Structure 1
């Protein structure tokens, strides 16, 4: 779970507080709490533009003490706090300093879905510290609840405005979550981003850079100048570029899971926002689906308003050096037929997810168009009828396990479907079981080839596996007259006692032909 503004209302210190505006934002995630008394909204605006003072995800406590009667200043302050990603405001001493929350403030907060929580009115004995202790206690307990940190990070950053969705913001969120200083450097050790914890340690990157040439393994080293401090280093690899992530922690040893999650958060941020192109979301969603990370998938798809729930079909393109231009061409063609399109290069293949294409004629047309824009020699695999993302993952694993076998069994194909892969998998499993299993299926071929002919079985394999029992196409592949093919098929059928290709009699015959090709 994650701590939301709504969950704060159940805390003892806020039990008698009430939401007076911005109820639409109660599900925003709270990462920490801070106190703000300045009414200098221009200062806050400068910090918002520079993204320096606030990390986003904070619930802010104030009494408007320095501007209790300045509604304009309160109005602008709330507007700017919302803009920099703060999740709400808890107002103390209403009726004492601020006589009431102005209607203009309430309307603004409602429009922004920025919750304003009013503490009990006319009570001077309330203490900020009580709420701070309660809120931070809840946040710390939540961090040990078992939910992956990466999910919380993605959910938090998704609530920010586009200008706040940056690598630096992700670094600050990670720092805030771990209660540790985080520094990202180039492979050579030059600092790119620093997020100090606490903020008084700003400039800690200068000490961290001294570790660039130091041998470091998985275990931390002592960090000089701070009692009980350790420094960790982890590699971050993004699209062929290597970075180093340093985490300086005081006290208890940091868990390997949190370290891995921090690396994942930084890697995603660099991929999404670390370049001028800003691309990479599709590959991250694809990875989340295919590696069975539903929470990450939902967070990313929600952030970028992609309707993953509507995904019904997957295309996998393999071969050649597929790159960004090919991805753009695939997306352009798919968009002509589908509402939801998610595609990118994934492990040297292009993966394309689409919603349902109702007509087979449209599938065929898209296939033709894709063949025209992709390099010669690219193989296509098409899966459809998914009920959920687990079905997608199963299809991907089916493809990975049986793709090479399918190429051997169906060498002339450039387009495969689920049935082709399942058939290849069946043949492969029989071969893997050993000779006894294989002989049980190949026996039928020996019935066909019991005389002096060497042409019958190759003809049968082409007829069944390559041409969908088309006599003319079989003849063309063999460079013989179609009557020759007819004669051979009739001879085969006579020896079998049933027509070659008729189902279900020919089921084992298909498997025998597939096994034969795997063994050649």
Structure 2
């Protein structure tokens, strides 16, 4: 048994609190609680520590109390990092109100949003923190078996949240132990230290442990600088490779039962959700980059002599047709790799979760024409795909953010850009912004309102609106490209655009007016495809 959000709502410090969103996930388990406030605003959220797992956050959105967009961004970011819920304080006092967009986004993400009694500045974060942690600690004292709960939690996470780093962090928080994984040669694969951010003298601990009499399965007490450390070493098998696990506890003796449960959780994760975890290849390197496993990434990159820091371009190739077929994914990967290798520069190509990932240095910078040629070749082999370009991605964190952004919005890409195969990261962000406007109805007019087409026949209206959509969204505002995409003579497209400009009273490409038209054209497409959303 573990403490859930439903359980903490019964605590005295949360009496009068209301659940505004995320009702379907009130059974989420809580293992810790933290505060998210900073004078630096979004910068603090973007630098928020990863892999807390089962943590609920307290906040009043003080730094962006008047900026709903930043509030929504913060919720999306902490959700992506694995946080399970948010408790809002000081609504009506510090935070003017809870905007409907915040509630809708929380519901969409399935993230419980709890609001403390409004207009009560006397409420204290510390009261909630004390009672929640007291409930968690009391539950742990009564229920020492945690392995099943941890595995169940892992099974409910998304692919982007599920990684060995997050698993070790959950174990760390549950047991207050530091856990280290090594390959057969003693090279570190991953770690999670208690408390988070602790810098244990692990090299000295291992050296002394290796020269100490040990009994299998039992903790060894090691003293460094008059400080005791309790250490157990376990061996795990993953595919054809052996993994060594070191568990270190500082405060109290490390029990054999805790060690067995930690080993069981890690072994179960490796067997169910990883493939050749300790193997050294580009697939594991790509996985380490996207899953934010820096120790593993550096180790593999050093062995393979790949300069990850020089790779500032990333391309994600994906498809709705072959993405679930590993054979076809592998075939697509090989064709993409052959194509990219012709540039003879620093690059990395492999598969991650139904996506072929290409990372390369700035010398590559494939043009739209290059990419379209490659996509055409893939289609000729029954491997029709799209590619999303993120350039530049100067850090591995930006690669992780780019991948998460793509996964969040890629199902809407064929609706907004049905005729595009080469898409930019900016266009993916635009799809996300448009979807939010569409969901919240945060637009004051439609294309039909602006165009005032009532005087035209239905067919004429449809022709003009379709031409505008294709010209703006698919044709890169090129008459020739629009004519090609619509299988219509160039002169006809030119005539329709002149008609549209006559109605609007300005050029169809004029800035800033074109941005509003561009957004409304995308919303129009979402509206027509509402049954797909």
Name the larger-Rg structure. 1
